[in-house]
Every structure is written in structure tokens, then in C-alpha cells.
Structure 1
Amino acid sequence: MIDQYRTISVHSSNLPEIGAALTDVNAAAALAKIADRGALRSHLDLEAAETALQALLLHENVHVLTHAPKVDFGTGIVTYARQDIGARNELAFQIMSVAKSRDFLVAPEFLTVEGGCVISSTSTGSPLIGRMADQLREGRPYWSENVEDAINVTIEMHGIPAYLTHPALVRTRLGEGFAKQFYKRVRQPWDEAVGQIPKIVCTFSVPPLLAITLDRLNNRVDLATVIADLRSELEPSRKEIRELNQIVTASTTETEIAARIRHINESFDAIVPESRMTNIQRRRRDALTIQKLAKPIIKFATGFLTKSGSSFEQVLEATKGVPGLVAESGALVDRTVTAKTFSGLLRETEALQALVKHHLTDTEILSIEKSMRKK
């Protein structure tokens, strides 16, 4: 419980060191829908589920952010008027428990009730003043600029990444580190790559972490087990990400730090190109880069391989579709455990249109398509 209305600052926290992150109730609830056949209604459900997966797969501890006013009901009872009762099913709690999750409750204001009505608040201009006490947990969403500020300040004071779905809370923050850096550098090329796939089953795309998860599912009810297994496989990646974060604050020159970050980002940038290479492209690339053969020897080798005496440049052109990484993507990916692991996971995913057809009902597909038209 964080009584933000009376908090000036957080003196110290071990959350960054243990690899903690925050997500929100909506993201946790959306992820649980993946296990409930027929529950998906919008493309926003897919994105919210992806948001939860970012937190769960890339961080050791994930807490669920929620907010509520603290209330003195005038009857000797002082408690939090929670807004999220019933918003998550039991599976949502079970899934989040694999990351030692607990609710991270922020109280932006303290209310005083008299005669069953809110008469005062620590927040100037609170929209809750005048509301009946029995309506605090229902009706209009509990939101205002002060609530937004209180939540944002709380997150920033703890200095850990936040994976949130409310538009007012989605922003760049202190403490995000390499986990978000990694995901951003994977998501854009992923969207570009899958966006070129002909739309047969659906026009929407499945984001990368959700695609990996769906590919592991034989049945949607196995979601919790699959996520637990993926978290276990990705433990070395999470450890590496925490270690990479220490680079930025290392006692060395800015030039050295910039060089090391560039070295890592190049590895992250190679994940999707490496995963999209066909077996033929990969074999051709491997044949050309064994021991970094000198150009004359490569020319000789290509003539032997293709029986056509193709020039070095022609061979490179033959591997188009993996621009700029013909001879390097494998080596770049191998620079980091995280890049190598995820390039393998993405390479193994079944065709996205096939995943959608297998896992989603016709009604879900139509509902998501309809939501896309309203986007």
C-alpha cells in the first residue's frame, strides 16, 4: 500500500536490484483471456496481453499496479475503496503468481465521509467530493489529473519499468533499462515482417511475445503452465538484462559506455532478421562466412556452390530479405544471451495466420476485426 497523498519521496528501494517491474490490472486480466476460449473481444486485448507478457518474461518480480482512495468512513473504519474488485479472475492471479506478484496499491487521496457522503479530500478539486460513500467502488471510473500524477510519481520514485495499458500512463520513465530497449528493437522489425504476410484468416497481427506463447500452446487452458515454462527458459536472459543495466552507471567514460550500448543494440537489432532467415538463406550465409574467408576465396567457393561463377556481390544479392546482415546477423545475435534466445524462439513460431486459426474462435476473430475498424 502506498499512501501517495502523504508521501514526499522514497528513500531507498531494492526493487531495481531484484529485477522488479509493474504492470496493471487490465494487462493481467487480458492475459488470462488467452486461456479462456471465446473471451477475446478486441485488438486491445491482444496488446494488453502482450504488455503483461513483457513484464512476466523479462523481469523476476512483477507487481500489479492499481489505485484507490483511502477513506475514513466515519464509523471507525478506515480502508481503501478499491476499484478493481472482480476485474480479474482466479487464473489472472495464478499466472501472475509465477513472478511473485502482489498488488501495488496507490492511494492518491484521503477522503473523509460524514453522513454517508464524502465531505473532504486531501486532493484539491477531487471529483469524489459530494459522492455517496456507497458509490465509491462503483459508477464512474476513478480518474483525474491528480490521480494520474500520483500514479506516475509513485512509479518514478521506485525507479522500475512499468508495463501499463492506460494511455495517460504510457510514457518513457527513469529506470526502464535494457528490457524495454530490447523489446522496442524487436517489435518494430517484427511488425514490419509480419505485416507483409497475405491476410487470409485475419487482417490483424499477433505481437511477438504472444506469438511465442501461442506457439507453445496445444490448448489455451494450458496458458499458465506455458508461461511458467517460458519464464524458466528465459531466466538467463533476465539475469543478463539486469547485468546490462549496470553498464549505464559504470565508472568509466561516456565514450566507452556508448560503444558498449551500441554493441548490445546491434545484437538486439539482429534478432528478427536472423529469425526470419530461411534454412536455405542460413546455409548460404554460413557457407560464405566460415572463418571470414577472404573475398577471392569466397568467389571461388560461390562458383563451386552455384556452378555459375557468380560474383561475390551477386551472392549477397541472392540473400536479399535480410538487408545489411547477410554475413553478420548470426555473429551479432550471438553477442548476447537475450538476442540468441529470442531469435530462436521467434524462428520456431508457426505461421501467424495458422496460429490465429488454430487458437481463436471465429467469433473472436470477427470481434477483433471489428475493433480494428474502429481503431
Structure 2
Amino acid sequence: MHFSFTTLLLLLVTATSSIATPLPAEDNTLDRAHKNKNNAGSNGVIELKSPHHNLKLYTNDPSYTFSAARKDLLHLMSWAGDSNRLSTSHMTETLAAILDVPHRYFPELPTRKIARTIMADIRAESDFNSGNVSPGRLGSGDSWGLMQVSQDGSKELTLFQQHARIGSSRAGPLIDWQTGKTLKADSLSKKDLLRPWVNIHVAAWIQANLGKSGSLDPYDWAAYHRRSRKRSPKGDDQVDEEGDDQSERKGSRKGKGKGKSDGEGKGNGKGKGKGDNKGNGKTKGKGKGKGKGKGKGKGKNTSSNSNIDHSPLPRTMRTALGSWVAGPHPDGHGSYLQPGDNISGPYLQNIVKAVSVFYGGQRLSAGWLDGLVLNHELVDYQ
């Protein structure tokens, strides 16, 4: 890694300052290697007081601290009638994960907006029940934890284990909340998806890359990553070509769909349906209008080079979240934007409805998520 003379000079000044504390060297891609007298990084990123001695949290909004995020989460949980869902320890762990995700996987967007979106997503997925396991039907596979990650159906944990950069992330090594040491992804089991820290990071990493790729199937991420790196040689992620080749060989088809809920009554019932290779699940569920059905299937890869390079779907949080439930559809057919969509539509509406709570209850549409525009490069991918 090469630094400019100006950057080296600033690093030297920082090292001799009694006010500043150097940020981790792993974060050099975003030039976060020093702080000024206002505790702000050169690009506006500041370090937050962390609840874990081995965890460093960052925000690009000086007013959005750990306390501010906690206030947001408590407010949303109270509004949703879920105030007692998280234990004290899980509350802290969940908050830490929610604050780590924006800096780690969505650095191009405001910390506050991404944190609030993740909170709203958790509410839509599980009503803040970290132990929630939604049984599937017809072999579609269960979905686990706060953000309803599926291992049996979509192999989402396996995808994370095989392709997420853990020790060499652009944001610094991803630690294990339990041990304080670098996360050993290979040792994670499905049961670990009930841990808020693991669950949120697995889900958010997949969502981020679905959005950044324009809803590409993970099967095509290796080729897309290789092409995007050639277009932007100074991108955030730098991995060797051998890793890219392994990624392409290990890639697998993912289809996923969540069902429409027809109820507003309180309840925890979740519905899941078996999907085809396009992730078209059909089911009805109960509980706060957030019943879900995940359709998961493996099918023949139909992506083309044109889809890899020129997805018609916008690279936004709406695509990230819509693809998380409707499945990846780079050509736009069968995606969350199709007329008559009854899978991702209600899910996205539930998210923006929860987000609106943070803005005085003003009416928001799913288009609000399109305002959160993502970079085109995959994040922490190998």
C-alpha cells in the first residue's frame, strides 16, 4: 500500500499529538489513518465510544453516537410494541452490530440512515426476536434470527463463510463479539445465526453486495468483482486472482422470496413457501403485517455478460433489500420492480413505515430507499 507525502506527513503529526488517537491501519483505503482536533477523520469519519474493548466503531455523522443509536432503537421497539424483546446483553450486541454495518459494508452512505434502515429491517423480519426460527415448508429451509438468515435453503451462511473478507477487511478485521478476536467464520454453525452480531453481519453483507451488483446472483459475483476491479483499480477491495477463481467455482444459485402478510394483528407466525429457481415463494403469514414466506431453490444460472456489466436495476438500498426477499434478478424480470409483486412490495413498505417513525411519522414510500445510492464495487468480497 502506498501513501502520498501529504498523508505520511499527517500521520506523523497525528502520532505526536496528545489529542488524536490513530485509527486502525486496515482502514487506510478510506484515508482514516488520522484524526483532527475535533476527533474527526480526514473524510469526516470519527471513532465512537465502544461497548466492547476490542471493537472500534465509527460514524460519519458526529451527532450519531452509540447513545443516539440506542435512543433510535428503543424508540422503534416501543412504537412496534417490542420493548421487551431483547435482553440487555442482546440489546448491546445488536446495537454494536447495527453501528458496525454502515462503516463496514455501506461506507458511502450516511451512518444514521443505514443504521435506521437496518433497525427497520430487523423489525420487519423478526420483531426483534433474536431467537426467532421460522419453519419452512416443502423443504424450503428455515430462516433464523433477527434478520432471518437461511442456511438450509439458500446457504447464506455458507456464502458468507466462503466469500466474505474477515481478517483483511477494508474496515479492519471483523471480530467475534463473544471472544473479542478475529471472527473464525469457518467455525460458525447454523446455531450461531441466533447471535445478533453474527446474524446481522451475514445478512447485511449479502444485502450490500446484492445492491452493489444490481441484483446479481452470487454465482456471478466473482466475475463481476473481477470486471469491476479492472474498471476501478483503486477500489476498496483488493484480492488476489486466485481468490476470484475460487469464488467463481464455489458460487451457488440463490433464490429467495418472502410472502405477503394479510394481517395487522400482533403475532409471531411466519409463513414460508418453497420457491422456484427465481425465488418465487408464495405464502401468507401472521403478525403485524410482516408475515414472510421464503422461496428458495437452486437452478440453472442464466446470467449473461451483459447482465453482469449492465444491470437494469438501480444500485440502491431498495435493490439490496428487494433482492434479499425476491431473489437476485439482474435482468429485471421477476424482480421486486415487476408489476403485481406481492413478495417484496409489502416487505419494503413495512421497512419504510418503520423508518418514518424516526422522521416524525411523515409518510415515506419505498422510493426513499432509492435515495440511498450504492457504489458499484462489491464490499469485503473474496
TM-score strictly above 0.5? no
Structure label with greater radius of gyration: 1
Q: Higher helix fraction: Structure 1 or Structure 2?
A: 1
TM-score, length basis structure 2 = 0.22
Structure number with greater CO (CA < 8 Å, separation at least 6) is: 1
